[in-house]
Amino acid sequence: MKVVIAGSSGLIGTALVAALRRDGHQVSRLVRRAAAAPDEFTWDPARAQLDERALRGADAAVNLCGANIGARRWSGDYKQSLRDSRITPTDVLATAVAAAGVPTLVNASGAHYYGGDTGDAVVDETAPAGTGFLATLCRDWEAATTPAGSAGVRTVLVRSAVVLARNGGMLNMLHPLYWLGLGGRLGSGRQYMPWISLDDEIGAIVFALTHATVSGPINAVGPAPVTNAEFTRALGRAMHRPTPFVVPGFAMRALVGEFADEAILRGPRAIPAALEHAGFVFRHPTIGAALAAVVGDR
């Protein structure tokens, strides 16, 4: 396959490029600077500009664009940046994919599509969008793929959980604290915390690219949901460290503001029903297996 990737420089994009090339696929990357390598094509989504050669003959496009939702405290300006960094590039790419006749678009989204307050209720891809900033962001992000879907492009919406990786992501921040024995649950610990290993995140995207029957939303989440308290104990076991502490909800709110209620102190109990129905097999089906793979012997 010839696959064009937007957002290839991040944690997931870098791993996806490597995996696709390892499997013998041809990969091109969209970059927001002057192209400096044979596999690069320049685009400027803010100006709706895309090198017309980029999608020529492509079998699929993958869109992973989006500023890090937890990189800084949310201000009005930063929340707008989170929207602009997702919705505008998605609309530009989806429109270009439709015009170029690319048959498949795989677009990133998030498990917080379902909102942060689903309690113990299990949610799969048939559940409606939730409420709150992140749920609305994910809904509008997915809606921006409409130009592709309306043109008959097979469109897959990857609603990703927190990605657990050896080098990068959330575990990079938690590892030093847990290593010092300062790990602990956040708030009540009863809130669900969707997770997926980096290997399975990449596996799910490749599966979506290579299986023509997969379409619409897919939950890229581990098949065994855990609460924050269960995650905390599992990470402590994987690192052979105690997890005696509790960070109260009010302290999290004081530290990171609105993000705490949206993504830390609440979370959906999401399951990967569509992926499993399509035959996808997880390499790391439990939080213990995922953490052993990414934390062990670190």
DSSP states of 102-146: -SEEEEEEEGGGG-S--TT-EE-TTSPP-SSHHHHHHHHHHHTTH
Kind plus residue range of the DSSP H or E element containing 233: helix 228-239
Q: What is the DSSP letter of 46?
A: G
Question: Which residues have CB under 8 Å from 254's CB, separation 6+?
Answer: none
Task: Compute and round to an integer the Cα radius of gyration of the chain.
Answer: 19
Asked if pLDDT for residue 298 goes beyond 70, the answer is: no
**Closest-CA residue to 40 (of 85, 4, 75):** 4
d(CA 207, CA 59): 14
Residue 77, Cβ density class (10 Å: 0-12 exposed, 13-18 middle, ≥19 buried) = exposed
CB 28 within 8 A of CB 61: no
Domain count, the chain: 1
pLDDT in tens, 228-238: 999 999 999 99
Show the tokens assigned to 198: 């980096």
Helix, strand, or coil (residue 263): helix
- Whole-number percent of the chain with pLDDT over 90: 91
Show the tokens assigned to 64: 């992973």
- Whole-number percent of the chain with pLDDT over 70: 99
Q: If pLDDT is split at 50, 70 and 90, which confidence band does 208 have? A: very high
Whichever domain contains 149, its CATH number is 3.40.50.720
Question: CB 131: neighbour CB atoms within 10 A?
Answer: 12
pLDDT in tens, 21-76: 999 999 999 999 999 999 999 999 999 999 989 999 999 999 999 999 988 999 99
Domain extent at residue 194 = 2-295
End-to-end CA distance of the chain: 35
Report the amino acid identity of residue 230. Answer: E
Residue in the structure block whose two tokens are 């934390």? 295
Q: What is the DSSP letter of 128?
A: P
Question: Which residues have CB under 8 Å from 133's CB, separation 6+?
Answer: 74, 79, 258, 262
Confidence (pLDDT) at 119: 82
Kind plus residue range of the DSSP H or E element containing 77: helix 76-100
Report the amino acid identity of residue 214. Answer: V
Opening angle at CA 290, ends 287 and 293, nearest 5 = 145
Strands laid side by side in the 60-63 sheet: 49-50, 40-44, 26-31, 2-6, 60-63, 104-110, 154-160, 216-220
Confidence (pLDDT) at 243: 94
Question: CB 150: neighbour CB atoms within 10 A?
Answer: 11
pLDDT in tens, 72-117: 999 999 999 999 999 999 999 999 999 999 999 999 999 999 997 7
Q: If pLDDT is split at 50, 70 and 90, which confidence band does 297 have? A: low
Question: CB 139: neighbour CB atoms within 10 A?
Answer: 14
Report the amino acid identity of residue 127. Answer: A
**Closest-CA residue to 257 (of 143, 98, 133):** 133
Confidence (pLDDT) at 167: 86
d(CA 67, CA 10): 10
